[in-house]
Amino acid sequence: MSLLQSTQFRPDPSTSTTRRALLRAWPEFQNPAAWLVALILVIMPLIANGFFLIEIFATTLILGVIALSLMFLAGYGGMVSLMQLTIAGFAGYMVAVFGVSGNANISLGWPWWLATPMALALATLFGTLGGALAVRTEGIYTIMITLAIGAAFYYFTNQNWAIFNGHTGINTVATPHFWGVDWRTDIAFYYVTLGVAAICYFAVQYVSRAPFGLALQGVRDNPRRMAALGFNPNAHRIAAYAFAAFIAALGGVLQVWNYRQISPGSVSVGACIDVLIIAVVGGITRPIGPFIGALIFVLLRTFALDVLIKLGLDGNRFRLLIGLGFLAIVFWSSDGVIGLWERWRRRNASSTQRSGGGRHG
Amino acid sequence: MLKSSLGLIALSSLLLSGTAFAQEKIKVGVTATLEGTYTVLGEDGMRGHQTALNVLGKKIGDKELEFIVASTDATPDSAVRAVRKLIEQDKVQILLSPLSGDEGIAVKNFAKTHPELTFVNAASGAQETTYVDPAPNFFRYNMDGAQWQVGLGKYAYETKGYRKIATVGEDYSFIYTQVFGLVLEFCGAGGQVTNRQWVPLGTKDFASVIAALPDDVDAIYLGLGGADAVNFLNQYQQAGGKAHLMGGSIMIDQTILSSKGSAKNALIGTIAASGQADTWEDPGWQKFVKAYQDSFPESKRFPSPSLLATNYYGSTMALILALRQVNGDLSNNQAKLKDALAKIEIDAPNGKIKLDANRQAIGTNFVTEVVDDGKGALFSKVVKVIPNVNQTLGYDPAVFAKIGLPSRTVPECKKY
């Protein structure tokens, strides 16, 4: 259970104060399952070959990071932003534009250590500005504004040839190469991705329990009361957008390094909604949710066609299988896979020991 | 005793080697646009591929070909993802990919990261793919979009007497290449292209495009494909459009001509150019059409193969023939196969095809006119056949290089 830190603040009454403070901040340290998952992720290159390592696990981690930024906004801030993938794509485009690529007439050819921070900074700025627009609205209007930003960016990249190279996009984007290591070789890239995903995961978890995160959850639950207490709800929300934009930008940089190319298809409206699906399927109540959702999404996307053909059905209908899979998950659990698992744990706990029940508020 | 046991050993080793050979397979990955705007094109491409297998068989000496299909949606991202899946998960040794223009550019660039494998282009037709910085292991047996327009400009100017035209096209590399070919020839003959409109791939609502079409032109050139083309025709007809039309290679194609509804009737009499003509008399073409029709029940195919089916047929054919030449030998980073592919000259249904130094096809082009066969089905009737069309369209390579790469505004409307 404690692998999955809930968005709801939960004190644990059983330990000494310093230990309790530590455990409150990092509850996964006391859970053997978390250590096991971490161990498996670290030794993954020994288990999985290139395809599973990159196309499944690294891709899962990248999409998970992007969806994590949405989970942060939606879970802690109550703001469903559909532009997280757009921010990621913007960062990817900026890496391609400032860095080195096959389109010499567009790319400025900066080294990666200059181009990447520039891309992250610009994407964070872009996300913050988008957030500043969106915070004036709530609920469905936030969704609409952020979707509009995503759609506008998609059509802009599709038709702008001076910077974004239109529908063709930017090909052969250079990847970092330093300390004698080509960081785009499968194993090195996997570890880069894993490192970034871990940092983002712990950062989100830390922020969610830092004063800023608590205030943000307060803003989510009752903005008027928070304003009366002297907090500035809009400033908190914009800061949350900035933080989420930075995370999404990291995911975007990894994504462009992964495929070595970027084109409008990467930032299409469909892809924006994919990120929402990932977050919802995984569950937006805990930071681990987006990663679980991303794994399910990537597995379905990759193998649905093969499964249908194996079953002797028309492979052309594989999108249907993907849709049905998501429908099933959302139908049986409105808070995603995390919710399913939580309920299962709770049922187990209450049947074995009475005291285990009722923990979840 | 000794003799019989020797015989037994010999027999068993023969059997063993027999099974070992029978199991040796050459894995080929195929991609087609089975999603999105170009779904219909991808499906017919796969029919062409299947027809080639029915005609030529899957045996390469004592090895057998195994094909693994992956789907894309005409965006470069989806193509790279599909190709990577085929290589890394399915361990294919040869790629037959991709279908669409920008996919081709992305896959060509990707091919450079796998110099040991062989990539045979399935149907994509952007000029840049083989013209700019070509990959040594990427082979294209279909002509590019500009080559497919050869003859149309002159025919429109000289025979039809069109002097001023406007173009509407999808906003990506293949259509740029098509318009490039058209404009070079039409303006070279003395015509004028007054207006070029570009719409995003996958556009559903053409109202603003139709409203902006100029009235003072002799004809409107349409460079659309798949669902976009059908949507445009429907809305154009509803808006009462009556201009003369000219069509690109995937516009005047069975993927559109055999679509449901009456909107396609706006295309009767339209002139176009393409790498094929539905009613060509050539026996090789007729044989291919027959093989295509025999391979699928009538409800599951077009009356006659589309350009995509022909391209997939041609590329599959080139690959199988080259593999047979080298007896399926893929050793030494497939060097023998690549050599054979570069030199092979195939008798494709749409005329002889050979490759140039950039591994780009030199082939035959057709100027056509859409006719009704009297039973409601539309076909493209050949009006002119132009053999030996190369990638520089007959221009001196130095002059051709000066024109620039196809884009929204290149080439200018002038005589080069």
Three-state DSSP string of chain A: CCCCCCCCCCCCCCCCHHHHHHHHHCHHHHCHHHHHHHHHHHCHHHHCCHHHHHHHHHHHHHHHHHHHHHHHHHHHHCCCCCCHHHHHHHHHHHHHHHCCCCCCCCCCCCCHHHHHHHHHHHHHHHHHHHHHHHCCCCCHHHHHHHHHHHHHHHHHHHHCCCCCCHHHCECCCCCCEECCEECCCHHHHHHHHHHHHHHHHHHHHHHHHCHHHHHHHHHHHCHHHHHHCCCCHHHHHHHHHHHHHHHHHHHHHHHHHHHCCECHHHHCHHHHHHHHHHHHHHCCCCCHHHHHHHHHHHHHHHHHHHHHHHCCCCHHHHHHHHHHHHHHHHHHCCCHHHHHHHHHHHHHHHHHCHHHCCCCC
B239 and B298 in a common domain: no
Please report the pLDDT score of residue A359 as a whole number: 40
Q: Evaluate the omega torsion of the peptide bond into residue B98 and state whether it is cis, within 30 degrees of 0.
A: yes
SS3 of B171, please? coil
Answer whether residue A206 shows pLDDT above 60.
yes
- Domain spans of chain A, in order of start: 17-356
Answer whether residue A304 shows pLDDT above 90.
no
Answer whether residue B313 shows pLDDT above 50.
yes
User: Tokens for A189?
Assistant: 């890239």
Say if A51 is an interface residue toward chain B (CB within 8 Å): yes
Q: Evaluate the omega torsion of the peptide bond into residue B411 and state whether it is cis, within 30 degrees of 0.
A: yes
Confidence band for B73, pLDDT divided at 50, 70 and 90? confident
Answer whether residue A355 shows pLDDT above 50.
no
d(CA A257, CA A96): 9
Q: Of all residues in chain B, what percent carry a pLDDT higher than 70?
A: 94
Q: Mean pLDDT lowest for which of A47-51, A185-189, A226-230?
A: A47-51
Please report the pLDDT score of residue A26 as a whole number: 61
Q: What is the tally of structural domains in chain B?
A: 2
Candidates B69, B89, B201; nearest CB to A315: B69
Please report the pLDDT score of residue B123 as a whole number: 92
Confidence band for A55, pLDDT divided at 50, 70 and 90? confident
Please report the pLDDT score of residue A27 as a whole number: 60
Residue of chain B nearest A319, judged by CA positions: B35
Candidates B75, B84, B89; nearest CB to A263: B75
Please report the pLDDT score of residue B175 as a whole number: 92
Say if A316 is an interface residue toward chain B (CB within 8 Å): yes
Cβ pair B76:A158 closer than 8 A: no
Please report the pLDDT score of residue A360 as a whole number: 41
Answer whether residue B16 shows pLDDT above 50.
no
Cβ pair B106:A51 closer than 8 A: no
Size of interface A-B (CB pairs under 8 A): 87
Instruction: Tell me which residue of A253, A236, A229 sits closest to A176, measured CA to CA.
Output: A253
Answer whether residue A58 shows pLDDT above 60.
yes
Answer whether residue B151 shows pLDDT above 90.
yes
Which residue out of A63, A100, A153, A171 would a mutagenesis test of the B interface target, given it has the greatest number of B Cβ atoms within 10 Å?
Answer: A171
User: CA of B172, closest CA in chain A: separation in Å?
Assistant: 6
Say if A263 is an interface residue toward chain B (CB within 8 Å): yes
Contacting A residues, span 131-150, partner chain B, CB-CB under 8 Å: none
User: CA of A181, closest CA in chain B: separation in Å?
Assistant: 17
SS3 of B131, please? helix
Residue of chain B nearest A51, judged by CA positions: B88
B332 and B305 in a common domain: yes
Q: Mean pLDDT lowest for which of A99-103, A262-266, A290-294, B331-335?
A: A99-103
Answer whether residue B21 shows pLDDT above 90.
no
Cβ pair B75:A264 closer than 8 A: yes
Interval A48-71 mean pLDDT? 88
B389 and B277 in a common domain: yes
Q: pLDDT tens-digit profile of A114-169?
A: 899 999 999 999 999 999 998 888 888 889 999 999 999 998 998 888 888 888 88
Confidence band for B339, pLDDT divided at 50, 70 and 90? very high
B166 and B129 in a common domain: no
Is B181 contained in some domain? yes
User: Tokens for B158?
Assistant: 């000289």
User: Which is higher by pLDDT, B298 or A47?
Assistant: B298
Q: Torsion angle of alpha carbons A109, A112, A114, A116, nearest 10°?
A: 110
Helix or strand holding residue B25 (H, E): strand B25-32
Residues B71 and B103 sit within 8 Å (Cβ to Cβ): no
Among 1.10.10, 1.10.3470, 3.40.140, 1.10.287, what is the CATH number of A17-356? 1.10.3470
SS3 of B94, please? strand
User: Tokens for B64?
Assistant: 């057998």
B175 and B37 in a common domain: no
User: CA of A299, closest CA in chain B: separation in Å?
Assistant: 12
Q: pLDDT tens-digit profile of A220-242?
A: 988 889 889 988 888 999 999 99
Beta bridge pairs of residue B352: B347
Q: pLDDT tens-digit profile of B22-51?
A: 458 899 999 999 888 889 999 999 999 999
Say if B407 is an interface residue toward chain A (CB within 8 Å): yes
Confidence band for A246, pLDDT divided at 50, 70 and 90? very high
Q: Which range is most confident: A332-341, A347-356, B208-217?
A: B208-217
Q: How many CB atoms lie within 10 A of CB B415?
A: 8
d(CA B343, CA B402): 29
B233 and B205 in a common domain: yes
Mean pLDDT (chain B) is: 88
Is B326 contained in some domain? yes
Residue of chain A nearest B173, judged by CA positions: A168
d(CA B205, CA B150): 30
Is B338 contained in some domain? yes
Q: What is the CATH number of the domain that holds B269?
A: 3.40.50.2300
Answer whether residue A20 shows pLDDT above 80.
no
Cβ pair B77:A265 closer than 8 A: yes
d(CA A263, CA B75): 8
DSSP B158: I
Answer whether residue A32 shows pLDDT above 60.
yes
Residue of chain A nearest B70, judged by CA positions: A305
- The pTM of this model reads 0.81
Single-letter code of the amino acid located at A41: L
Residue of chain A nearest B81, judged by CA positions: A259
Q: Of all residues in chain B, what percent carry a pLDDT higher than 90?
A: 59
B130 and B34 in a common domain: yes
Answer whether residue B139 shows pLDDT above 50.
yes
Beta bridge pairs of residue A204: none
d(CA A102, CA B88): 23
Q: B375: burial class by Cβ within 10 Å (0-12, 13-18, 19+)?
A: exposed
Q: pLDDT tens-digit profile of A340-352?
A: 888 888 888 776 6
User: CA of B299, closest CA in chain A: separation in Å?
Assistant: 16
User: Which is higher by pLDDT, B383 or A184?
Assistant: B383
Query: Which residues on chain B are in Cβ contact (under 8 Å) with A93?
Result: none
Continuous H helices in B260-306: 283-295
Is B387 contained in some domain? yes
Cβ pair A262:B77 closer than 8 A: yes
Confidence band for A316, pLDDT divided at 50, 70 and 90? low
User: CA of B66, closest CA in chain A: separation in Å?
Assistant: 15
Is B4 contained in some domain? no
Which residue out of A51, A154, A167 would a mutagenesis test of the B interface target, given it has the greatest number of B Cβ atoms within 10 Å?
Answer: A167
Query: Which residues on chain B are in Cβ contact (under 8 Å) with A54?
Result: 88
Helix (H) and strand (E) counts for chain B?
14, 15
Residues B177 and B124 sit within 8 Å (Cβ to Cβ): no
B156 and B135 in a common domain: no
User: CA of A50, closest CA in chain B: separation in Å?
Assistant: 7
Instruction: Tell me which residue of B128, B116, B164, B162 sits closest to B330, measured CA to CA.
Output: B116
Say if A246 is an interface residue toward chain B (CB within 8 Å): no
Helix or strand holding residue B232 (H, E): helix B226-238
Query: Which residues on chain A are in Cβ contact (under 8 Å) with B84?
Result: 55
Q: How far is CA A198 from CA A34, A37, A101, A156, in A?
A: 12, 12, 28, 33
Residues B278 and B379 sit within 8 Å (Cβ to Cβ): yes
Interval A92-97 mean pLDDT? 92
Mean pLDDT (chain A) is: 82
Please report the pLDDT score of residue A361 as a whole number: 34
Q: Where are the beta strands (DSSP E) in B109-261?
A: 118-121, 138-140, 164-170, 192-199, 219-223, 244-247
Residue of chain B nearest A310, judged by CA positions: B68
- Give the domain extent around B93: 23-142+283-362
Contacting B residues, span 111-150, partner chain A, CB-CB under 8 Å: 112-113, 133
Answer whether residue A3 shows pLDDT above 50.
no
SS3 of B362, please? strand
Q: Mean pLDDT lowest for which of A134-143, B49-58, B180-189, B345-354?
A: A134-143
Cβ pair B84:A50 closer than 8 A: no
Say if B172 is an interface residue toward chain A (CB within 8 Å): yes
SS3 of B113, please? coil
Interval A45-70 mean pLDDT? 87
d(CA A103, CA A100): 8
User: Tokens for A361?
Assistant: 């508020």
User: Which is higher by pLDDT, B93 or A55?
Assistant: B93
Cβ pair A315:B34 closer than 8 A: yes
B214 and B112 in a common domain: no
Contacting A residues, span 147-166, partner chain B, CB-CB under 8 Å: 155, 158-159, 161, 166
